[in-house]
């Protein structure tokens, strides 16, 4: 039986096992997917089990998406550019790091039929997921990407890798067509974003990378102000779909049960 893991710390919240095990069963594969909470100094040993054929693949989540890179032989172009790995495969006895968050985000936006080309995008946050958003938005033809982060220095580090992005101070307003919440504000139902969202105007896309809770206060306010809103559910499903395809060579079906698995949590 092939074994797959998602590694992170914390990891309790991860819905990846439910999703992957559902698809594994549906496709009659002899495999099992589990989660593993690791300390940073345990990451290398677990990855080495792939080369020993004890594990067939690993998903990586917070805070190890960069940590895993030195243990790998090669990175996909997306992983290289974002310096972020969320999926590890073995190919011709080489450990390959992939980033399927980029594909997940792209497909989630496409599903909305929203045209990113020539749009101005404001990203709130500068954490681990943001390089994947920037990479995808640039590829989709965004006109301008603005970053606003509580700790300005972290946004400035991102600018060193992507010189064309603009930075505004946390709390400042800027004209834009899309606002993305890429902070962790909203993971707890009562989290409030101390930004005056009403000053941004309406008819925008409010996108939250968080999918649990289903509607963060950011999305609630965005919706009440007359904007299109979308949470991170499909981004999550599509990144998992891409990882599944890399490991098993099968595009898994996104059926009602998949949506239920994520909605019922």
From the list 35-43, 47-55, 139-147, 206-214, the region that binds ligand NDP by CB under 6 A is: 206-214
Residue 229's CB is within 10 A of a number of other CB atoms, namely 20
* Interface with ligand NDP, residue 137, by CB under 6 A: no
* Interface with ligand NDP, residue 87, by CB under 6 A: no
> Which of 139, 143, 151, 172 lies at the binding interface for ligand NDP (CB under 6 A)?
151
> Which of 78, 101, 103, 230 lies at the binding interface for ligand NDP (CB under 6 A)?
101
Closest approach, Cβ 89 to ligand NDP, in A, equals 19
* Interface with ligand NDP, residue 47, by CB under 6 A: no
Pick the catalytic residue: 25, 65, 92, 106? 65
* HSE toward the beta carbon, residue 178, CA cutoff 13 A: 25
Q: Which is nearer to ligand NDP, 56 or 82 (CB)?
A: 82
* Interface with ligand NDP, residue 62, by CB under 6 A: yes
Closest approach, Cβ 66 to ligand NDP, in A, equals 10
Residue 180's CB is within 10 A of a number of other CB atoms, namely 26
| Cα distances (angstroms) measured from residue 165 to each of 16, 141, 161, 234 | 32, 13, 9, 26
Extended strands (E) in the chain: 2-8, 31-37, 57-60, 74-75, 87-91, 94-98, 120-124, 144-149, 166-169, 178-181, 205-208, 228-230
* Interface with ligand NDP, residue 183, by CB under 6 A: yes
* Interface with ligand NDP, residue 27, by CB under 6 A: no
Contacts of 128 (CB under 8 A, 6+ apart): 62, 63, 65, 66, 84
CA angle in degrees (0–180, nearest 5) for 156-138-108 = 110
From the list 18-26, 41-49, 178-186, 241-249, the region that binds ligand NDP by CB under 6 A is: 178-186
Residues 107-126, interacting with ligand NDP (CB under 6 A): 125-126
> Which of 8, 57, 222, 232 lies at the binding interface for ligand NDP (CB under 6 A)?
232
- Does 65 qualify as catalytic in the annotation? yes
Q: Which is nearer to ligand NDP, 178 or 235 (CB)?
A: 235
3-state class (DSSP) for residue 74: strand
Q: Which of 177, 183, 197 is nearest to 150 (CA)?
A: 183
The edge-to-edge listing of strands for the beta sheet with 178-181 is 166-169, 144-149, 120-124, 178-181, 205-208, 228-230
* Interface with ligand NDP, residue 131, by CB under 6 A: no
Contacts of 252 (CB under 8 A, 6+ apart): 23, 26, 27, 241, 244, 245
> Which of 17, 57, 97, 104 lies at the binding interface for ligand NDP (CB under 6 A)?
104
Binding site for ligand NDP (CB under 6 A): 62, 101, 104, 125-130, 149-151, 154, 182-185, 187, 209-211, 232, 235-236, 239
Catalytic residues: 65
């Amino acid at each position: 039986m092939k074994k797959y893991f998602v590694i992170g710390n914390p990891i309790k919240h991860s819905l990846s096992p439910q999703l992957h095990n559902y698809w594994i069963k549906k496709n009659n594969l002899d495999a099992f997917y589990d989660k593993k909470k690791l300390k940073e100094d345990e990451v290398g040993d677990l990855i080495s089990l792939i080369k020993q054929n004890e594990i067939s693949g690993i998903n990586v989540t917070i805070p190890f998406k960069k940590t895993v890179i030195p243990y790998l032989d090669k990175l996909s172009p997306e992983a290289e550019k974002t310096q972020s790995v969320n999926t590890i495969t073995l190919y011709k006895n080489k450990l390959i790091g992939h980033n399927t968050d980029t594909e997940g985000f792209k497909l989630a936006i496409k599903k909305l039929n929203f045209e990113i080309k020539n749009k101005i995008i404001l990203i709130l946050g500068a954490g681990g997921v943001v390089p994947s958003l920037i990479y995808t938005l640039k590829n989709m033809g965004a006109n301008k990407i603005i970053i606003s982060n509580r700790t300005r220095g972290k946004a400035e580090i991102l600018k060193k890798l992507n010189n064309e992005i603009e930075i505004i101070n946390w709390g400042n307003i800027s004209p834009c067509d899309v606002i993305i919440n890429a902070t962790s504000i909203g993971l707890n139902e009562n989290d409030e974003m101390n930004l005056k969202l009403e000053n941004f105007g309406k008819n925008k896309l409010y996108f939250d990378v968080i999918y649990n809770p289903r509607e963060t206060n950011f999305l609630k306010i965005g919706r009440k102000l007359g904007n299109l809103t979308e949470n991170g559910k499909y981004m999550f499903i599509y990144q998992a779909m891409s990882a599944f395809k890399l490991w098993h060579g099968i595009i898994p079906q996104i059926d009602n049960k998949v949506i239920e698995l994520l909605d019922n949590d």
